[in-house]
Chains A and B, each alone.
Chain A
Amino acid sequence: MTFRERLQSWRYNLVPDHLVGEILTKRWTDNAIPFLALVVTLATFGSIIPGFFKLSSLQESTRQLGEFSMVVTGMTVVMLGGGIDLSVGSIFALSCFSAVYVFFILEQSIWLALAASLATGLVFGAINGYLVGYLRLRAFLTTLVTFIFGRALFDILVITYAADVQLSTATSDVLDFIGDSAFWGLSVSVWLAIILAIVTHIALTRSRPGWHVLAVGGSRRSAHNAGIRVRRTVFMTYVFSGFCASIGGFLIACRLSGAGPGTGLNLEIMALTAAVVGGVSLGGGRGSVIKGLMGAIIVLTMTNGLIRLGYGTGTNQMVLGIMLAVAVTIDIRWLKNRHKVLNEVYVAPVYLKMGETQSAVPGSGTPYALDNRLSSADHIGLGELEGPEDVILDRDDNLYCGTRHGEIVRFFAPDYVRSEVFAHIGGFPLGLAFDKSGNLISCVGAMGLYSVSPEREVKRLSAETSRSWTSIVDDARLRDPNDCDIAPDGRIYFTDSTKRYDAHDWALDSIENRATGRLLVYDPRDGSTRTLLDGYRYTNGVCMAHDGKSLFFAESWACRVHRYWLEGPKAGTAECVIRDMPGYPDNINRASDGNYWMAWLGMRTPSFDLSLRHPDMRKRMTRRLPQDEWLFPNINTGGVVKFNEKGGIVEAMGDLTGGAHPMVTSMREHKGYLFVGGILNNRIGRYKIRGADPNWTSPASYWGAQP
Chain B
Amino acid sequence: MAGWLNFRSLNQEGIVFAIAVVLFVAAAIGLPGFIDPNNLVAIVRSVSVLGILALGMAVVIIGRGIDLSAVAIMAMSVAWYLQLLNTGTPDGLAFAYVLAGVLAIGLLNGFLVAYADVPAIFVTLATGSFVFGYVRSQLITQDAVPVPQGHWVELLGGLRFLDVPIEVFVFAGLAFLFFLFLRYTKWGRYIYFAGDNPVAARNIGIPVRPMLVLRYVLSAFVALIAGLLTAASLHSINTRVVNSTLLYDIVLVAVIGGIGLSGGRGGVRNVLVGAALIGILLNAMTIIDIPLLYQNLIKAAILLGAIIVDGIINPRDEQTAQQGDI
Mask, B121-165, CB within 8 Å of A = 1, is 111011111111111111000010000000000000000000000
Q: Is A383 an interface residue (CB 8 A)?
A: no
- Chain B positions within 8 Å of A320 at CB level: 126, 129, 133
| Chain B nearest CB, measured from A154 CB (Å) | 10
**Does the CB pair B127–A141 fall under 8 Å?**
no
**Does the CB pair A311–B261 fall under 8 Å?**
no
B304 CB contact (under 8 Å) in A146, A155, A319, A333: A146
**Does the CB pair A318–B300 fall under 8 Å?**
no
| Chain A nearest CB, measured from B95 CB (Å) | 23
Mask, A114-140, CB within 8 Å of B = 1, is 000000000000000001000111111
**Does the CB pair A325–B293 fall under 8 Å?**
no
Chain B residues touching A, range? 35 or more
Mask, B296-321, CB within 8 Å of A = 1, is 11011101100110011001101100
Determine the distance from Cα of A159 to Cα of B291 in the docked complex, in whole angstroms: 12
Determine the distance from Cα of A140 to Cα of B261 in the docked complex, in whole angstroms: 12
Interface of B is mostly: helix
Mask, A275-297, CB within 8 Å of B = 1, is 01000011110000000000000
**Does the CB pair B326–A283 fall under 8 Å?**
yes
Q: Is B201 an interface residue (CB 8 A)?
A: no
Q: Which residue of B lies closest to A273 (CB)?
A: B126
**Does the CB pair B128–A321 fall under 8 Å?**
yes
Q: Which residue of B lies closest to A331 (CB)?
A: B118
- Chain A positions within 8 Å of B116 at CB level: 329, 332-333
**Does the CB pair B323–A325 fall under 8 Å?**
no
B-facing residues in A215-236 (Cβ within 8 Å): 219-221, 224
**Does the CB pair A283–B324 fall under 8 Å?**
yes
Q: Which residue of A lies closest to B129 (CB)?
A: A321
Q: Which residue of B lies closest to A155 (CB)?
A: B293
Contact A137:B311 (CB < 8 A) given known A153-B297, A333-B116: yes
**Does the CB pair A141–B251 fall under 8 Å?**
yes
Mask, A310-349, CB within 8 Å of B = 1, is 0111111111111011001100110010000000000000
**Does the CB pair A220–B304 fall under 8 Å?**
no
Number of A residues with CB within 8 Å of any CB on chain B? 53
Determine the distance from Cα of A333 to Cα of B125 in the docked complex, in whole angstroms: 18
- Chain A positions within 8 Å of B118 at CB level: 325, 328-329, 332
B-facing residues in A135-167 (Cβ within 8 Å): 135-142, 144-146, 148-149, 151-153, 155-156, 159
Determine the distance from Cα of A417 to Cα of B123 in the docked complex, in whole angstroms: 66
Contact A324:B311 (CB < 8 A) given known A152-B300, A314-B134, A317-B130: no
| Chain B nearest CB, measured from A86 CB (Å) | 9
A317 CB contact (under 8 Å) in B122, B132, B318: B132
- Chain A positions within 8 Å of B315 at CB level: 136
Q: Is A83 an interface residue (CB 8 A)?
A: yes
- Chain B positions within 8 Å of A283 at CB level: 323-326
| Chain B nearest CB, measured from A338 CB (Å) | 14
| Chain B nearest CB, measured from A192 CB (Å) | 29
**Does the CB pair B123–A328 fall under 8 Å?**
yes
**Does the CB pair A314–B323 fall under 8 Å?**
no
**Does the CB pair A145–B248 fall under 8 Å?**
yes
Q: Which residue of B lies closest to A336 (CB)?
A: B117
**Does the CB pair A324–B122 fall under 8 Å?**
yes
Q: Is A197 an interface residue (CB 8 A)?
A: no
Mask, A683-699, CB within 8 Å of B = 1, is 00000000000000000
**Does the CB pair B318–A314 fall under 8 Å?**
no
**Does the CB pair A315–B318 fall under 8 Å?**
no
**Does the CB pair B307–A145 fall under 8 Å?**
yes
**Does the CB pair B300–A142 fall under 8 Å?**
no
**Does the CB pair A321–B126 fall under 8 Å?**
yes
**Does the CB pair A140–B307 fall under 8 Å?**
no
Determine the distance from Cα of A317 to Cα of B239 in the docked complex, in whole angstroms: 13
**Does the CB pair B303–A145 fall under 8 Å?**
yes
**Does the CB pair B307–A152 fall under 8 Å?**
no
- Chain A positions within 8 Å of B319 at CB level: 221
| Chain A nearest CB, measured from B145 CB (Å) | 13
**Does the CB pair B112–A329 fall under 8 Å?**
yes
Q: Is B245 an interface residue (CB 8 A)?
A: yes
Q: Is A82 an interface residue (CB 8 A)?
A: yes
Determine the distance from Cα of A138 to Cα of B318 in the docked complex, in whole angstroms: 12
A-facing residues in B218-262 (Cβ within 8 Å): 245, 248, 251, 261
- Chain B positions within 8 Å of A318 at CB level: 129-130, 132-134, 136-138
Q: Is B294 an interface residue (CB 8 A)?
A: yes
Q: Which residue of A lies closest to B140 (CB)?
A: A314
Q: Which residue of A lies closest to B142 (CB)?
A: A313
Determine the distance from Cα of A272 to Cα of B68 in the docked complex, in whole angstroms: 15
**Does the CB pair A282–B119 fall under 8 Å?**
yes
- Chain A positions within 8 Å of B137 at CB level: 311-315, 318
Q: Which residue of B lies closest to A137 (CB)?
A: B311
B308 CB contact (under 8 Å) in A131, A311, A328: A131
Contact A315:B326 (CB < 8 A) given known A149-B304, A328-B118, A332-B118: no
Q: Is A269 an interface residue (CB 8 A)?
A: yes
Q: Is A447 an interface residue (CB 8 A)?
A: no
**Does the CB pair B293–A159 fall under 8 Å?**
yes
A149 CB contact (under 8 Å) in B297, B312, B318: B297
**Does the CB pair B133–A156 fall under 8 Å?**
no
Contact A224:B326 (CB < 8 A) given known A137-B308, A269-B129: no
| Chain A nearest CB, measured from B249 CB (Å) | 10
A136 CB contact (under 8 Å) in B121, B125, B136, B316: B316
Q: Is A84 an interface residue (CB 8 A)?
A: yes
Contact A221:B127 (CB < 8 A) given known A83-B326, A144-B248, A316-B133: no
| Chain B nearest CB, measured from A85 CB (Å) | 10
- Chain B positions within 8 Å of A276 at CB level: 122
Determine the distance from Cα of A269 to Cα of B133 in the docked complex, in whole angstroms: 13
| Chain A nearest CB, measured from B217 CB (Å) | 17
The 10 closest A-B pairs by CB, nearest first: A283-B324, A318-B133, A321-B130, A314-B136, A317-B133, A321-B129, A314-B137, A325-B126, A149-B300, A152-B296
24 chain-A/chain-B pairs, Cβ below 8 angstroms: A82-B324, A84-B326, A135-B311, A136-B311, A138-B261, A148-B303, A149-B301, A149-B304, A152-B297, A153-B297, A159-B293, A220-B318, A221-B318, A269-B125, A282-B119, A282-B324, A283-B325, A315-B133, A318-B133, A318-B137, A321-B130, A321-B133, A322-B130, A328-B119
Beyond the given A269-B129, A321-B126, could you list 19 further A-B residue pairs with CB under 8 A, ordered by the A residue number? A82-B324, A131-B304, A146-B300, A148-B296, A148-B300, A149-B304, A155-B293, A224-B318, A269-B125, A282-B122, A284-B324, A314-B132, A314-B138, A317-B136, A322-B126, A324-B125, A324-B126, A325-B118, A329-B112
- Report A's interface with B, CB cutoff 8 A: 82-84, 131, 135-142, 144-146, 148-149, 151-153, 155-156, 159, 219-221, 224, 269, 272, 276, 281-284, 311-322, 324-325, 328-329, 332-333, 336
